[in-house]
Chains A and B, each alone.
Chain A
Amino acid sequence: MKKLFNSTIGFIIIALVFTSCNNGESKSNSALSSNVAEKVYVAPGQHDEFYAFISGGFSGQLSVYGLPSGRLFKVIPVFSQDAEKAWGYNEETKPMLNTSHGFIPWDDSHHPDISQTAGKLDGRYIYINANNTPRIAKIDLTTFETTEIIEIPNSAGNHSSSFVTENTEYVVAGTRFSVPIPQRDMSIKDYKGNFKGSLSFLKVNPENGEMAIKFQILMPGFDYDLSHPGRGKSHGWFFFTTYNTEEANSLLEVNASQNDKDFIAAINWKKIEEYVNNGGGTKMPTNYAHNLYSDETHTATSTMINEVLTVNPLDVPGAVYFLPTPKSPHGCDVDPTGEYIVGNGKLSANLTVHSFTKMLDAIENKKFDGEAYGIPILKFEDVLAGSVEQPGLGPLHTEFDGKGNAYTTFFISSEVVKWKLGTWEVLDRKPTYYSVGHLMIPGGNSAEPFGKYVVAMNKITKDRYLPTGPEVTQSAQLYDISGDKMELLLDFPTIGEPHYAAGCPASLIEANSKKLYKLEENTHPYAAKSDADTKVVRKGNEVHVQMTMIRSHFSPDNIEGIKVGDKVYFHVTNLEQDYDVPHGIAMIGANTSELLIMPGQTETFVWEPKQVGVWPFYCTDFCSALHQEMQGYVRVSPASSNIELSWSLGDDF
């Protein structure tokens, strides 16, 4: 009997082996892992379902990825020079990086936010803040180019930025560091009671997305960390987390963690807008840059503005309140209905959620708990909607799936926790690898999130990838959140540092993506729009070359009569009028980057030849089978030479 039993088992096992290996051909094998792979696999030639715009943190840029594949499409240069695209190197874009401190080649880009209409993402623009030298940039999502940068005066560490109201009426920029306003020479020790924190409201032109500072609210000298707009019922309000309500000026690690509760500042911006529209506020002399890029001249202009309208919150009764919130809250997140305001108290054991309805009631019934510099503090118990009890360690940021769930990152315990709005119960938790900062659900900061994926942006990746020396890759992780439980799908490397992100369905943007610039719309003052326009003109020591490029030659490609000591401007126009045919140009010894010129566009680089000789230039972007032939020469003669300027292409001139 036993023998029979054994041989039966043996038969079954052999049969199983064959069956399992036959199944190896089909999708049902190793069901778990292949399922996950399929969920992120976007076949060659296929497009991703979502765009993810992930800020570059200390690289100062904004990167564009596809979800669910995690494939990198583009790094949009914003606040840092980018030699690949000549951003901040060519003459046209240098003015974009101008500030009241002069030209600044770098910044720290933090919080991208996509423009909204009626509380929903509209896919027109992305706004993003520079943290270090306070600025806000606008990126046009038809060209994926930065087309505006505005400096924020009276701000320092522009961190609680750059979030939009539900109809993109305003882009909001709050200062992290409080400073003397206006800036002046004073003792640092006199911080308390003297420094101020500015919250700036930038009015957006609905036609073209352009920003203008409408007013700045001068708040007590706290650190304003993050902010989010009210929406739906709370539209018209804006919420800012604060820390360092202790107003410490040194060793904040200890000194700014003394108070049990800091505040969320609730600002009724509609009330302040009305006050300002009726002539309220005080004009203050200042100095800041407003830089605009034109798709017609392909050139940026920088304008200095010397006045800003400031508002003392005490002059607008009923416009500003403080909501006590435990322990140095970081993220300040408003749910899709506009009812709940989550304060992610990063040193708190619990996650605090305030109720907008209760807040209005507390204001109406004056349920105050004192005041701070004249601003009413609402009673904690009277605004609290509920707490998520001990969900994890170090909560930073919460996003929403539009199905009544919230997802919060916990930096210290390195996890994403899913919890339910209203019942405050924890539904699921998944580890991140490692030490997650912010997270992103496409549309997660809007009335209509697309709750299919969450992207976690991690601060530490140590053993997750092949090592690359002491500096290892930056990385994000993708989770499927369409089911009851979250599922980790993908690790994907990112540019440094993946700080914060905004995402939206590709369908919102894809069809509007521009393919080329029309030559006939090019109004660059030095454009050569056909061969007939090409020329070389001397103005003293300045020489202006108006050059064209098309597959696969430059016109002109031989230039003589340049002298040592000249400042030679190469204004180069790409005559192509076909999709995806950019050309590049680089000149030996030029103290700048190459140019990368899109069809129909004109860009300029400067070359100051220091040595006599014949010096070549060439196309840097592989453009055709004759790309290697796309080259030319400039003859450089001694400064004393009498050689006249001449230029040619082939034997034709």
Chain B
Amino acid sequence: MTTIQKLFTLFFTIILISCGGKKEKEEGGFSYEKKSTTETTSTAPEVKIPASQKITLSDKGVGPVTSLELPAEINTEMAAHGADIYTKMCTACHRPDKKFIGPAPKGIFERRSPEWIMNMILNPENMIQNNQEAKELLAEFNGAPMANQNLTMEEARAVLEYFRTLK
């Protein structure tokens, strides 16, 4: 071997060692701690009064409805339309007057704002992640998430009017 050949051998050996070492480092580089941080954030908050009985009238929830004034009189035509939609889209999980898979809508205006109800119908995935009451309800109701039935704004509003008739 000439000196130059030796040097080239050395050169490639160093490259192999140095690059091989780097590879090993990459492979060992998964994060164990990262996983545990996400776990700790997902623990449910402690609840004393059940979420379904809490009164949070000032909470408007998260979603497309930020402000909704209800007229004094119930629009009976709209309520009838809402009852029809409710029967088709909601009764798989909700009875009007008693707890089923989810809570009963009867008396809901004593506890929740119209905006909150609308947002729960229209934006449930977001609500159960970002709204405290919705999160607590999810826990109270066994982890059964409110399904998004893709109601239009108009349909959700009609269902809301129907809820006003439940006394």
CA distance A21 to B8 in the complex (A): 16
Contact partner of B92 (CB less than 8 A), chosen from A13, A555, A625, A626, is A555
Query: Closest Cβ of chain A: how far from B70's Cβ, in Å?
Result: 26
A624 touches B144 (CB 8 A): yes
Query: Chain A 5-35 against B: per-residue CB contact (8 Å), 1 yes, 0 no?
Result: 0100110011011001100100000000000
B7 touches A13 (CB 8 A): yes
A531 touches B92 (CB 8 A): yes
B92 touches A17 (CB 8 A): no
Contact partner of A551 (CB less than 8 A), chosen from B15, B91, B144, B150, is B144
- Write the chain A residue with the least CB distance to B14: A17
Q: Given the complex, which residues of B lie within 8 Å of A24, measured CB to CB? A: 19, 22
Query: Chain A 170-195 against B: per-residue CB contact (8 Å), 1 yes, 0 no?
Result: 00000000000000000000000000
B30 interface contact, C-beta 8 A? no
B95 interface contact, C-beta 8 A? yes
Q: A13-B7, A17-B15, A626-B144 are in contact. Are A550 and B92 (CB under 8 A)?
A: yes
- Find residues 16-65 in chain A having any chain B CB closer than 8 Å to their own CB: 16-17, 20-21, 24
Q: Given the complex, which residues of B lie within 8 Å of A9, measured CB to CB? A: 4, 7
Q: A16-B11, A552-B144, A577-B150 are in contact. Are A652 and B92 (CB under 8 A)?
A: no
A652 touches B22 (CB 8 A): no
Query: Closest Cβ of chain A: how far from B63's Cβ, in Å?
Result: 15
- Write the chain B residue with the least CB distance to A30: B19
B4 touches A20 (CB 8 A): no
- Find residues 609-653 in chain A having any chain B CB closer than 8 Å to their own CB: 624-626, 650, 652
Query: Closest Cβ of chain B: how far from A61's Cβ, in Å?
Result: 31
A626 touches B11 (CB 8 A): no
CA distance A342 to B70 in the complex (A): 73
Q: A17-B18, A577-B89, A626-B144 are in contact. Are A652 and B7 (CB under 8 A)?
A: no
A581 interface contact, C-beta 8 A? yes
Query: Chain B 92-111 against A: per-residue CB contact (8 Å), 1 yes, 0 no?
Result: 11010000110000000000
Contact partner of B11 (CB less than 8 A), chosen from A17, A516, A530, A625, is A17
A21 touches B18 (CB 8 A): yes
B130 interface contact, C-beta 8 A? no
Contact partner of A548 (CB less than 8 A), chosen from B92, B101, B147, is B92
A13 touches B10 (CB 8 A): yes
User: Lowest 8 A-B CB distances belong to which pairs?
Assistant: A550-B92, A577-B149, A578-B148, A13-B11, A577-B150, A531-B91, A625-B143, A530-B88
Given contacts A9-B4, A13-B11, A652-B100, 4 further A-B contacts (CB under 8 A): A10-B7, A20-B15, A531-B92, A552-B144
Instruction: Enumerate 25 A-B pairs (CB-CB under 8 Å) in ascending A order.
Output: A9-B7, A13-B7, A13-B8, A13-B11, A13-B14, A20-B15, A21-B19, A24-B19, A529-B88, A530-B87, A530-B88, A530-B91, A530-B92, A531-B92, A550-B92, A551-B147, A577-B89, A577-B147, A577-B150, A581-B147, A624-B144, A625-B144, A626-B142, A626-B143, A650-B100
Query: Measuring CB to CB, which residues of chain B are less than 8 angstroms from any residue of chain A?
Result: 3-4, 7-8, 10-11, 14-15, 18-19, 22, 87-89, 91-93, 95, 100-101, 142-145, 147-150
